Amino acid sequence: MISSGDPRVSATVVCMSDASISQFLRDHGIQDKGQLITLVQAVAAIPWGEARTVAEVLSKNKGTCTGKHLLLQMCLQELDIPFRPVVSTFRWERQKIDLPPHLRDLLKDHLWEHGHNFVQLKGEGDSWIDVDVTWDPQLQRYGFRTLPKDWNGTTSFVGLDVLEKRFDGADIGTMKEKLIEGLTPEQRKARAEFLEKFIEWIDSLRP
């Protein structure tokens, strides 16, 4: 079981009161670990958007992969469900997302491995199950891999078509900082521009 004081989590988790997490669970009718599927689906349903801390996700009702998975981790901790964080990398151009032309154009000159994170839940024996709640159901029509409606709580699911590298049990904040530091100045600039335009595009898809 990973606690909020674990160094793998503490670098990124903003202190939240137990009341805030408990309220989120109550709002979704979640009382115990037997409702894992309901919990995962509830966090997956939160719209993807620019909110990277648990406090921001709860107040804005949107979140990035970091924000949504930190919320999920804190809920898992509250319910005493074992988990561990995973940091991975991917390339935007290798995904099957139906990006608009202006975003695809940004990827032509500078390519980089982008940081991503999700969680693992304890499976049977020594096994671990990947669980990724990054993309909300509304984005499925644009080629995003969203959590299946019939996810059974025992099957691995990752919200990317292709992963480049993965680091099981890694601290989210520390590892993502290292990944960014490893980019060239040109790649960092391209990354920042792409993310700004990507966020604008996603926002434009919302009602």
Q: Encode pLDDT of 41-63 as tens digits.
A: 999 999 999 999 999 999 999 99
* Mean local confidence (pLDDT), 99-103: 97
Q: Is the pLDDT score of 160 beyond 60?
A: yes
Q: What is the pTM of this model?
A: 0.89
**Domains identified in the chain and CATH numbers:** 7-205 (3.10.620)
- Cα torsion angle, 105, 167, 33, 17, sign: negative
Question: Hey, is 116 helix, strand or coil?
Answer: strand
Q: Is the pLDDT score of 8 beyond 80?
A: no
Q: Is the pLDDT score of 104 beyond 60?
A: yes
**Contact indicator for 65, 112 with CB cutoff of 8 Å:** no
* Mean local confidence (pLDDT), 90-108: 96
Give the pLDDT band (50/70/90) at residue 109. Answer: confident
* Mean local confidence (pLDDT), 166-193: 94
Report long-range pairs for 144-150 (Cβ below 8 Å, ≥24 apart).
144/97, 145/96, 146/44, 147/40, 147/41, 147/44
What's the confidence (pLDDT) of residue 130?
98
Query: At which residue do the structure tokens 């349903």 appear?
Result: 45
Q: Encode pLDDT of 76-93 as tens digits.
A: 999 999 999 999 999 999
Q: How many CA atoms lie within 13 A of 151 on its CB side?
A: 26
Q: Is the pLDDT score of 128 beyond 70?
A: yes
What's the confidence (pLDDT) of residue 10?
39
Give the pLDDT band (50/70/90) at residue 19. Answer: confident
What's the confidence (pLDDT) of residue 124?
87
